[in-house]
Amino acid sequence: MKLLTKANRQSLPALGSTDGQGMEAIAHVKFFTPWAGWTWYATEFSPEDGIFFGLVIGFERELGEFALAELESATGPGGVPLVERDRYFSPTKLSQL
């Protein structure tokens, strides 16, 4: 599965464009690990360097940056990708997640 489609790229605002919105920013893309309980909700994206900003739910719940390259490179035994994109996710305010 391709983690970030052309349509996803077009829907994501530029990195820094939702500054100040906090939990009222809209998550446009959801990534998750089915077995590890981590989830990334992307609200912004910089196509030049592949950096997202959004909500990360893992050991803690926090707003921050994460990299497309890191999500794509996370693999398990036999090279199986660990991170997937939720193909059925609809844009949602972070406060509603």
Q: What is the DSSP string of 6-73?
A: HHHHHHSPBTTTTTT-GGGSEE-EEEE-TTT--EEEEEEEETTTTEEEEEEESSSEEEEEEEHHHHHH
Q: Of all residues in the chain, what percent carry a pLDDT higher than 90?
A: 90
Residue 30 lies in a domain: yes
pLDDT attached to residue 42: 98
For the chain, what is the largest distance between any 2 Cα atoms, rounded to a whole number of angstroms? 42
Quick check: is 74 in a domain? yes
What local confidence, expressed as pLDDT, does residue 79 receive? 86
pLDDT given for residue 10 in this prediction: 95
Tens-place pLDDT, residues 25-69: 999 999 999 888 999 999 999 999 999 999 999 999 999 999 999
The pLDDT of residue 77 is 85
Residues contacting 19, CB < 8 A, separation 6+? none
pLDDT in the model for residue 36: 86
* Domain range enclosing 37: 6-15+24-87
Structural domain contains residue 94:
no
29 domain-assigned: yes
